Amino acid sequence: MPSAAVPATFEHPCDAAEFKRPARAGVELYRAHIVRYAFDPHTHEAYGIGAIESGVERFRYRGGDHLAPSRSVVLMNPDVLHTGRAETEDGWRYRMVYLDTGMLDALSGERGWWFDTPVVHDPAAARRVSALLAAMWRSDDALAIDSGLLELVETLRPHVRGAARPVASTADLALDRAVDLMHAGLDRSLTLEQLAAAAGWSPFHFLRRFKDRHHVTPHQMLMALRLFRAKQLLAAGLAPAAVAADVGLVDQAHMTRRFARMYGVTPARYQQQLGTRPAR
């Protein structure tokens, strides 16, 4: 792989990650080969669907460690923070597509798909998912991409464990109010007391319950939400310096470091891949 395609933040010359957005809104394609890099907890706030083409990935998801070997399918629900690193010496090569909730609802004709397990050991499905994602990556034909998305959903249907998400408890709803406050306050500093008040709990009770449910601290969650919002704004063509201010990060350099830790590419490289770099 040409060294020019590797972000400067990568420590190994074989590490590379690339994003692409087709014409269809609510869809983002991704492919990568990661050997040494370790991704910080991050979110895509979309369904993550993909296949491991070689090697083995280890990642944290919903409080557990998971291994995704070659010829396995990766299925992630929206809003779930996760990490990622190589388990094998040669790293792992994989393809993903991130589908907004509304997009998957429209494709499947159903609401609220939910995956019980993030790794499915189904070599035939993995080969099909990988082939479909590769074809979509190569294609500039909007109709072909839309047709491939439908085939992808049909391939996954046997692995959907329920047509609805688990019912939220009263405690879940309280914690959701704190996350809503984070979304509303990405551009300002938030205190533990403010977040706890949104949930209706004492500060350290809230801190414990938040970590128990999300498996990250409120600060890690807030940073992941800020960087996801930054990703959306960069995709829309906003200048990185303006994006950094909009999502409450110290400056563009701070955003660049954190963005690369979560997504594997710098903001400038991400915009270049999508063709949305702002005019100078």
The larger pLDDT score, comparing residue 208 to residue 163, is at 208
Across the range 64-86, mean pLDDT stands at 96
pLDDT for position 42: 93
User: Is 151 within 8 Å of 43 (Cβ atoms)?
Assistant: no
Above 50 in pLDDT, residue 180? yes
pLDDT for position 164: 53
| Fold agreement between 3-159 and 170-274 | no
CATH 1.10.10.60 fits 170-274, yes or no: yes
Residue 1's pLDDT band (cuts 50, 70, 90)? very low
Q: What is the pTM of this model?
A: 0.89
Map out the domains of the chain as residue ranges.
Answer: 3-159, 170-274
pLDDT tens-digit map of 196-216? 999 999 999 999 999 999 999
pLDDT tens-digit map of 102-131? 999 999 998 889 998 999 999 999 999 999
Average pLDDT, the chain: 92
Above 90 in pLDDT, residue 186? yes
3-state secondary structure 65-128: EEEEECCCEEEECCCCCEEEEECCCCCEEEEEEEECHHHHHHHHCCCCCECCCCEECCHHHHHH
Spatial separation of the C-alpha atoms in residues 60 and 122, rounded to whole Å = 21
Q: Name the nearest CA neighbour of 130 among 83, 82, 58, 70.
A: 70
pLDDT tens-digit map of 213-260? 999 999 999 999 999 999 999 999 999 999 999 999 989 999 999 999
Give the C-alpha distances (Å, rounded to integers) separating 259 from 5, 123, 151, 236, 263. 17, 33, 32, 16, 6
pLDDT tens-digit map of 123-137? 999 999 999 999 999
The CATH fold assigned to 3-159 is Jelly Rolls (2.60.120)
pLDDT for position 5: 32
